[in-house]
Structure 1
Amino acid sequence: ILNLERNLLTSLPPSIGDLAQLQLLNVKGNRLKELPGTVSGWRSLRALDISGNAVRALPRLLAHLRSLQTLTLDAASMTYPSPEICSAGTEAIQQFLCKECGIVYYPPSQCLLPTQEADGGGTSLDEVDKTVHKYLEEESEWQDRFLDYEKRKEKKMQEKLEFERRLEMGQREHALLVQQLNSQKDEILQTVREEQLKLEKGLTKHQRCLEEERLKLLQQLKQAEQGITSRIQKLLEDNQRQKQSSDILKSLENERMRLEQLTAITQEETEQLRRREVAAAMQQMLAESYKNKLLQMSYESRRQDLISQACSSLAEMDQKFQQILAWQQLDQNKAVGEILQQIEMQKAAFEALQVKKDLMHRQIRNQIKLIETELLQLTQLELKRQELDTETLQEEISEQRQALGCLLQQLLKEKKQREEELQQMLLELEKRSETRQENYWLIQYQRLLRQKPLSLKLQEEGLEQQLVTLLLELSAEQYLPVFAHHRLSLRALGTMTARDLEKIGVAEAGLQHAILGRAQKILAVANTIPELLRTEVDTEAPAAPEPSAPLEEPPSPVVPTAPPLRWDEKKSECVVCMEQEPQIIFLPCGHVCCCQSCCERLQPCPLCRKDIAQRIRIFHSS
């Protein structure tokens, strides 16, 4: 048995024909297009399955396979033998191939026993029966499949017939539709023709109507012409009538002239009547004016009385207003004095700052001058030492020069910082002065609101100092105006009770008892020491205002560290041009070896070859 199902084989090798004992070969589901020419070597082959391949023709050598019982293939796609022969079964195919080859056909049952005996005598009859039984079962299965295939084929044929019937029905319906369309076209053409005839009849009728209307219009025009002629005649008659009416108008004008003469006489009479009425009205007006004069006299007398009363009241108000103005002037004078004191304080602080600024600037300038002189001395020393080639002195001088350069940079920074601080201080002082000037009247108004009335102040000042301290200790300062209003004293409190205090306005019971108890204690002590009841007067003068900005002690000046050296300025000269005096300090190295014109072209220092970060001009003192 050889099962090669679904291996995507495209061809079988020729050597497969050497398998003489092969009984069952299954190559279903591959891509075979033909069988090999060595098929005749399969003498004992009983079942062959080549379905699901592209085989369209069977080789004639299959006729020599006498033992072949079942051959499965795709009968519909076969060309040789024909599909009808292939669908008839294996025997029909074998018979057809035997006829083609000119061989007598023998059924496989006759050739089965001799082949088994020839193959080998070792096989028993039971095994042969089993194999035969298997092949018979397989044949029955293949027959069932073939019957199913035929049934499917019949169904497809029936479906094909039904489809053809449907096509015929559709064609018939199409023909009917075409006939109906043709009939509808004929009907539409007939209706169109009828409508055209109707339109032609209507047009003729319309033309007739138009002609009739034209005739009617002509008749109307004739009638209109006749009417116009009649109207012209009427107008002529009217003109004649107008001429007659003009004559009548002339007669009427004559009559009007007569009537005007008559009316002139009547106007003179009416003027006389009007004069009489005016005279009567004037008399009435004079009487009324006299009455009004009397009323005016009485009104003026009353008004003068009221004016005198108002003047007296205004005088009293002026006196009160003058008193209020005097009090306000006193308050303003006090406020102005305080403001002047503050301004003087600010001036003193500003002067102190200016002095401080001047001192700092002087000190910084002196230090800068000292450092410049030291740097000049050091550079000249270095130039001399270079001639003498003393290394130790050069190191010391370089260290001193670097230290002096650092000091110079620090001093310059301090100078800038000090100038910025002074500018900020000045700006702050200016802002404060501006804000104080702006808020002056607001502050004065708030002070006036907070101040108590003058009468209440005088009453509170009249209280005893011990009574005031008593109320303050008991945190009852809100009752000071009450005690001042009633002009109470410690001795009066000693004789009062809690009800009396409640009547005055002290409602707290605990506070009432505390005030009375403290007053009695003070009176008991005062009886032994009467000097305690004397009022104390503060005679201490107000302390002088302290300056707002205390003066800082100036820092100690920098003492030069280089040894004093006497040198002649005229002997020092520029290292580059050898003509002018050195005027520039190079930082951070601190060398003074070039004039101003030569230093602009230099980037490193000509002595130490270090990069120049900053150049400072020196001005020699004469």
Structure 2
Amino acid sequence: MPLFSRKKKPSNDARKRLEYQMCLAKEAGADDTLDISRCELSEVPYGAFATCKVLQKKVLIIHTNNLTSLVPKSCSLLSLITVKVLDLHDNQLASLPADIGQLTALQVLNLEKNLLKSLPQSIGDLAQLQVLNVKGNKLRELPGSVSGLQSLRALDVSGNVLQELPRALAHVRTLQMLTLDSSAMTYPPPDICSAGTEAIQQFLCKECGIAYYPPSQYSVLPTLESDGGGTSVDGVDRTVEKYLEEESEWQNKFLDYEKRKERKTQEKLEFERRLNMGQQEQALLVQQLNSHKDEILQTVREEQQRLEQGLSKHQRYLEEERLKLLQQLKDTEQGTASQIQKLLEDNQRQKRSSDILKSLENERIRMEQLMAITQEETEQLRRREVASAMQQMLTETYKNKLLQMTSESRRQHLVSQACSSLAEMDQKFQQILAWQQLDQNKAVSQILRQIEIQKAAFEALQMKKDLMHRQIRNQIKLIETELLQLTQLELKRQELDTEVLQEAVTEQRRALGCLLQQLLKEKKQREEELQQILLEMEAKSETKQENYWLIQYQRLLNQKPLSLKLQEKCLEQQLVTLLLELSADHYVPVFAHHRISLEMLSTMSASDLEKLGVTEAGLQHAILRRAREILAVATTIPELRRAEETEVPAAPEPSAPLEERPSPAAPTAPPLQWDERKSECVVCMEQEPQMIFLPCGHVCCCQGCCDRLHSCPLCRQDIAQRIRVFHSA
């Protein structure tokens, strides 16, 4: 339990109810009841005691609160002297005030559902108490002073841990109803407790040694009267006696009048004193109410200011976010426009260029030269290597299967015939190996005979190696990305409900759609040209020429890419001559790829060359020695060195390797970083958009929803062509 417990403040509804009930009790013509129940009170307010004292309230209802004590420190129990009904059920009371007996007018006391463990001894001073309800508490015993409750008619002690009743309860003659848990009682016995109130009272009276009388005899007390008689005297005596009696009667009346006058004066003074005290308490109560009202108003004012500040701050934040998003949208649109403009200019430049026609003609001449296969290339054909590369998966699978069969056969043979000779085992193993070699040779021969497969492999490799076809594919991929971003941009603008640069975005999307259609036509045309070249090669090939397509495939594989050729041109001529003299010309691509110069080579070690891929130890030392000799000669003769540098300049080390084709220029404006995972199909709202609609250029539907559409869901334009987009990871 914490040392300092904080009192729970009542809610706004509870405070409003308390104020309303207090005002209602003070109105003119109000009844004698003060009801402050269900107000979430932790203690009885001072105003309630003052109201009961000044207005002489007779009924005080404080049930269903959080009271832990009945009388606060600043109040007195005498303020409730006129209360006849006190309802305190359903609270947290652990004890009653020790001076509870001062409430002499109390007739009904309800303490149900509290935490009482005992009752004070002064409870017996409540002579007018008729109903006492202590149900649902933690009482273990009743005090012996309950015998003073001479008007008690109903007593409820059920729901406690009470096991015995005090014998003094037999002196309460007016008790008509006693409620208790008979099964838990030990005194009186449970059978007597189950018999009812009359049986319990008879048992207690018998234990106390007094006679039992039913309560009905004590409901109305009889009025006792006495008759007096007189004696006969003579007339004089009667006259004197009568005079004396009258004189004495007048004296008694005068004394009674004086006493009544004095009593009235005292009552008047007491009333004035009480009235002054009531006025003071009322003024104090009004002052407390005003201060409490000021505190509430100040709290409400501060809360309102805080809410206004928070609202204005949130509005400024939303406005900044909106302006930032609009700026990002504008920058993205400008970047997209510049990139589209560059794409259009590049496309027009390529159309107007005559170099394309010249390169196509040169490529056709080169293809015709490639059709002629020399005897030397036929002899140098790496037939087994090429065939193995094309059918590596089949060979490895077959080899693994044969090895598994061999291992299984060998294991079974060892288990079943552990005593068989090793010679027989070797003979069977050699036979299995011969079968394996025979099957492998047969598979390789079959692959070599499959001309159509060789032709298809050559066609696929040629399509991949073709420079113009690759450029067209890259441009198509770039345009698809731009269309996807434009579609997401339009959807974002619809969410923001803005119309900024709408016509510009629509015009850009249409231009990209037209450019995409044109590139698709060029791609199809280039594929037809490559197919025509393949048909011409097949027609011009010799009918008896073996491995024609294998030789073409090998020649295309051995062809160096454009980036490697450019790198080899940047190598120093002396370094190339050095490698040729040492018969290490096959390492020229390696040195070109890593940008190795003579100066770098002179500072390297044999382990560095081994990391580059030069594995021969003798060749490593020879290369390093020759490089140092060349640099020594160049240092001795600087003029020769400067002449050589002027003739063949050394290439500087770039920060990144050259690409096979120059990439398009990036837009000047920073593009908005679109999250493709957030884009979704506008129809099903689940899958990512995967289809491009032409001619509008929108990317807004997945493949499943696209089949059922005849017009674009965004612009309602008829769909002439659908293109599938594959998102890269």
Larger C-alpha radius of gyration, 1 or 2? 1
TM-score between the two structures when normalised by the length of structure 1: 0.23
**Which has a greater percent of helix?**
1
TM-score between the two structures when normalised by the length of structure 2: 0.20
